[in-house]
Structures are given as C-alpha cells and as structure tokens.
Structure 1
Amino acid sequence: MPQVRLKHWGRWVSAVVIVVLLVALVYGASQGDISYRDIPYYLVSPIILQGLVGTIVLAVVAQVSAVIIGVVIALMRISKNPVAQAFAAGYTWLFRGLPVLLQILLWYNLALIFPRLTVGVPFTDVVFLDVSTNDVMTTFVAAFLGLALNESAYMAEIVRAGLKSVDRGQIEAAQSIGQTPMQRMARIVLPQAMRIIIPPTGNDFINMLKGTAMASVIGYLELIKAANNIASFNLQVMETLIAAAIWYMVIVSVASVGQFYLERSFDRQDRRPGGPPNARALRRKVAADRGRAPLGRSTP
C-alpha cells in the first residue's frame, strides 16, 4: 500500500505570513524619514563609543560587585546564626522590592537627606572624614549602587539555590575526613554549585548590560544618553538610536557566547564519571579510609 505524505499546510501558511510581514516591515522602514547612510557614521562616533565604554564598565563593575555581595548574603541566609539569617532576609526583601530606577534616583538624591557624609566616633567631636554627599554621589556611583545592590539581592537567591543543590552526603563525607568549612565550600560545594549558578548569572549580566540604560535618567553617559546627546543637536533621533541598538546587540551577543562556553566547560566536568574532580577525589579517599583497618587489629 503506497504511503501518503502528510501535507503540512500550517507550515506553509505561517511561512507565507512571516515573509509578507517582513516585506511590509522593510518596505515601511524604507519609506520613513530616516537617513540610513548616516548610521555607520554614528556607530563609530566618539560620543557613541564613549557611551559604549560607559555601558560596559558600569555593567561589569555592578555585576561583579553584585556577585560578591550576593555570595555573602547567601552564606548568611543559610548559616545557623539567626541574626545573620534575619539580616540577609531583610536585605533581600528590601532591594528586590524596590524598582531599579527608583533605587538609582534615591541614591542620586541622597544629599537631600544627608547633606554631608561623616565618619568618626559617635557622640564626640572626633571626625575622620567629612565630605559633601554631592561630591561623592556622582552619576556613576549612584547608578552603580542602584544596579549592584538590586542585582545582589537576586544573586543571593541564585547562589543559595546552587548551594542547596549539592548532595548533603558529599558535604558530610568531606567533614568526616577533617576538611574545614572553608575547604568544603571551596573544594566540594562551589565547583558543583556553579553548574546551577552560572546560567542565571549569565542571563542577569545580559540584563545588566541593558539595564544600564536607566542610568541615563540621572545623566550618566552610556549608550542611550550618548545617542540622545547627539540627537538633541541634529534631530536625527532614529539614526542615533539605531546605532545604539546595534551596539547593544553586539555586546549582548558577545556576552551570550561567553556564557555558552562557560556553561559547557562546567557541564563537561559534571558529566565525567564520579562528578567534578574534587568530588571524585573525595569519594576515593572516603572509600580508602573505610577499607583501611586500624593497625594492630584484624578486620572482622
């Protein structure tokens, strides 16, 4: 009996609809009042490149700081100290509950509450440092604090989930052979937890790259601010915004490639027989200790 090939009409219809929409989009864009020949010029404009550097620097510094703070908060959250647990829970609740833009604005206007920042001995005249808040709270510092502290609250939950994913038996085995808590964390827990931590951290860094655009509200020179500065003089709004959009796609693509190779590296370690190298070594040592009889005694 001859076979009857299925006709996938849905695929053809959806393909035709997509092609028609793309053609309509390209045609509509070609009819707009946009000077496309100026876009390559804006891509390498000194102001745009300065904004690109500002975007990358702010994102990297804020993300690295957020990871460090997040690890500390996560360790406090899983500790047995009730004070540390309460502080970590309150920290996460506060900075996750406020919008990032609001946090940036609050930090930038901190001088309205504290005109001067003073470091000294309370209730005495001893002062080690006394500076104007406006001198300290620059656009970069305000944007950095708003982005880093908000992200650190999310990183704390990501790290906590990664640490909780490690088999409890391996931690107890490491403890049984005399490893200190720091050794267990560095050699057993973190290498395995990173497989859980890295994917969402990479996604958060990509969001951080795009989230730096909110710093333009307080005047920090990043890509959006640079594009708006140019457009305010020559009124070529779409041209400069398209140039900024292209740069965003470039840096996000580079970050995505880096995330892919980093994830693959940890996946290869985890897929090896016995798990990561430190976990395999731990299993061998525990097995050897169990099979070794004490001197002067015979095994039953």
Structure 2
Amino acid sequence: MLKGYYNDRLLDGHDRVRLDRGWRPNLIVEGCNRLLAALMKGQPGLAGILYLAVGEGFREWDAALPLPQPAATRLAREILRRPIANEEIIFLDSAGLPAAAPTGRLQISIALTRADFPAGGFQPVREFGLFGGNATAEPGSGLLLNHVIHPRIDITPGLTLHRTLRLDFSQMFAAREEIPGLGAGLPVRSIDGVGEVYGPALAAAGVNTLHDFLAMNPLAPPAGIPAGKLREFRAKARMVMALTVGLTPFAALSHLSISDLLREDPQTLAAMAGTFTITADMASALQEELMPLQVALDERQLQQMTLGSLLQGA
C-alpha cells in the first residue's frame, strides 16, 4: 500500500522557523492507483509526478476542516500550479537519506514564496495535491495523486513555505495483524478485577490462564464467583485474545510497556520513533487500537507487557 507524508515549514528572510507542523500523513487518492497501473502497462502520453497544485480552499474550513475524499479528482479552489523539476524529486533509503539508486521511497521538495501567487496582499492556502499523468499547467488537468486539506497558512512577503512530501511504496505499513494466542497463557489474575478477591476461587476450579477461562463451562461458575462477574471476566479475556492491530510500523517503540505507550502523548511517541513514517496521528490511532488491553488487564500486567512482546507474537 502506498503511503504519503508531508511537512510544512514557514521560514522568514533570516531562515528563522515561523511554523513547523511536523510530519503528517496525507490521503493517496484513487487517481494515483490508476496512474500506477497505466505506467506499468506503458500507456502512451502519461508521465509520473508533474505538478504541485495549491488551493485556497474556503473560509468555512477555518472553523472545521473537511476530510479529503479518496475519489477526489481536483482541488476545491486551485490557485497555483507549480511544475516539479526532476531534481526536486529524489530517492530515499530506509533511513530517510538521499539515495543514488532507485528505492521504494520518493521525496519531493518545493519552496513557495508570495511572488509565486497571484498579485495581492497575503495569500491564505488550505489545500494542495500532486498531479501527474497527462497534467498540464491548466488548473484541474491531469490525475490527482494525493490530496491534503490543512489548517490555513498565510503566505506574506518575506516568508517562504518549504513543503516536503514523501511517498513510500515499500509496504512498511502492514495491515491490521491478528496476534495469535495473545494472552492465552496470561494468568487469570491479570484480568482487571480478578486479583486476590476471585483469583483463589478460580485457581481452585482449575482456571489458571485466560485460555482456561474461555474453555470452562460458563453455566457452572466456580463457588464464590457471581455469574455476572464471571461473564465480565470472560468478556475481558476474549477482548485480549481477539485483539487485532497494525504493529509493524512501530518496531522502534518495542521497548515501551503497554502502560507507558497508552499514557504517553502521541507527539512524544512520534518523536521517540525517530522516523518520518510515524506521525502523531498514527501514534494516537495505535493507542486507540490497544485500548482493549487497558480495559481488560490490570495495571501490573500492562507494565510488564511491552510492545515488543506483542510484535513477537504477531
């Protein structure tokens, strides 16, 4: 699956950073897939990445940004189309450094100033996209490859917008993985709420692991455990053992306990990963996918379990 990222930095005339929003993911739209298929076939009259288009968007977006759509074919309000020179596109290696030989990663770097836009005062921009295929200087022409709708940036005289885009064809991002047997061997006391209150009764009934929990007869609860509590504990065991989550991109965070990972700020997690392929949005999504563990397991188990242990089981 092709993934895209971008970073916007606004610099003044003294190269001082006025804005840096960090690396963010962007939507690869359907036109990119069609162009890739056409290029693989050798369809005449088509080329790869040709233009960066920039759009003004709408003022209403300043209150609530709309989500870009996979079926989009053009920007909402394109105001600039900038041709991309061959030297502005480079290959990157797995460490994100320039590579001489072709790799599965591309970087496009473009600088825009107020002079690039139509005459006037400041210029607000709220969207952009790459165009290729049979694109020309005519607004809306060609195949839209990606679409980004972002918080407004005002480009005024003396400021330069340095926009960097990265396209990753290397399938670093695996689909959601089922983690076979996760938690099957965990002690029943790792389930939140079991502890010393119900643990001894379960052990006396031969229920020692989460697997035992699900294998037992729910119609014959062990003595001393209310039927409602037993159903609650079994539901939590199923939550743990049925967990599916995309873990592969987060190998750099393997040392973190699940407890620390769930508590940490997503921006901090993205910085800890040390790679542009992990963004704060992705870290936040991972935390949400792992939340069943926080609901089902007690804090001691969450501190003992690391992301690396989940990766090894995936």
Tell me the TM-score range normalised by the shorter chain.
Answer: under 0.3
Larger RCO, structure (CA 8 Å, separation 6 or more): 1
TM-score normalized with structure 1 length: 0.21
- Which one has the bigger helix percentage? 1
- Which one has the bigger strand percentage? 2
TM-score normalized with structure 2 length: 0.20
